[in-house]
Amino acid sequence: MLIKSVKGKSPQIPEDCYVAENATIVGDVSFGTSCSVWFNAVVRGDVNYIKIGNKVNIQDGAVIHCTYQKYPTIIGNNVSIGHNAIVHGCVVHDNVLIGMGAIVMDNCIIESNSIIAAGAVITQNTVVESGSIWAGVPAKKVKDIKQSGFAGEIERIANNYLLYSSWFKEEE
C-alpha cells in the first residue's frame, strides 16, 4: 500500500481497517473504524480533506478525491463505494450504496438510505434525497427504495465487506 503525507498532512487509518497492498491513500484523509480500501483504489486528500466514517468499503479501482479550495469529500457510516466508482468533492451521508462505475461529482449531496445505480452519473450540485434510487446518465430518480426490493442491499453489502476484509487480515 502507498500511504503518503502531502503538505504535512498524513492519512489517519485506525488499526482495525483493512488496506490492500496496492491501494493508495495520500494526504488529509481520516477513516473511522472497520473500513476497507481494496485493490487499486485511490483516496487522494492532497487538495482538500477527505473524512470517511465507520464501516465504509472502497472497492477495487474506486477513486475518492476532492476539489482544490472548494469542496472536501465527506462520507458517512455504512457506505459501500463500488468497483471503479468516482466520488469527487461531495457529501455522502450514512447507509448509502454507490454502484460500480458510478460517478458522483462536485458539490453533490447523497442523503442517507439511498442507492446510486451502477454506471450512474450524479451531475454537479445535485441533491439525492433520502430513501431514493438514482440511475442513468445524467442520473435521475427512478424509484423510492421502499418500493424496490433493494432496501436490505445497503446493509448486506457493507456487512459482506467486513467479512471479506477479515479473510485478508487473517493472512497478514
Structural domains of the chain, ranges and CATH numbers in brackets: 2-171 (2.160.10.10)
C-alpha cell read off for 16 = 482495525
Q: pLDDT tens digits for 19-64?
A: 999 999 999 999 999 999 999 999 999 999 999 999 999 999 999 9
DSSP conformational letter for 146: G
Contact 93, 116 (CB under 8 A): no
Q: pLDDT tens digits for 86-125?
A: 999 999 999 999 999 999 999 999 999 999 999 999 999 9
pLDDT at 87: 98
In 3D space, the residue among 87, 114, 84 whose CA is nearest the CA of residue 100 turns out to be: 84
129 burial level (CB within 10 Å; 0-12, 13-18, 19+): middle
CA distances from 165 to 78, 82, 172 (A): 15, 15, 11
In 3D space, the residue among 95, 96, 98, 46 whose CA is nearest the CA of residue 72 turns out to be: 46
Contact 52, 36 (CB under 8 A): no
In 3D space, the residue among 35, 57, 139, 102 whose CA is nearest the CA of residue 129 turns out to be: 139
pLDDT at 64: 98
How far apart, in whole angstroms, are the C-alpha atoms of residue 120 and residue 40? 21
